[in-house]
Amino acid sequence: MNHTRWKLARERQIAAGYTEPPEVVAEREQIRLAHDLGQLVYDRRTALGLSQPALGERLGMSVGEVEAVEVGGMLPVTADLLVRLASALDVTVDLHVVSDGHNTVAFGERAA
């Protein structure tokens, strides 16, 4: 399946004056944020030399749940999840929420 057609169709709709409902925009942003978080978790887990089962043990999650986080399928991204990840991965989590909907999440080094 060619997903580029979806983007082109959405761009044609926007050019024709269509605007997505706010709930669709919010869900799309939540999915993007979950994917970004998943990449951060994967990168940090591998940098620490942890396996998915080892991270799951630290988080109190199954391997399937860790995998879901890493592929961006753990929705919604909750404060509880961010706190647990910060502790398990020994990082700070910076979440920037802005009014235009382009939120960001980043990991930082935990201060000594």
In this predicted structure, what is the pLDDT of residue 9? 78
Q: What is the pLDDT of residues 59-101, one digit of tens each?
A: 999 999 999 999 998 888 899 999 999 999 999 999 888 877 7
Total domains in the fold of the chain:
1
Q: Is residue 13 part of a domain?
A: no
Q: What is the pLDDT of residues 42-56, one digit of tens each?
A: 999 999 999 999 999
**pTM, rounded to two decimals:** 0.80
| Of residues 79, 101, 82, the one with CA closest to residue 93 | 82
What is the domain extent for residue 54? 22-109
Q: Is residue 17 part of a domain?
A: no
Pairing, β 104-109 against β 91-96 = antiparallel
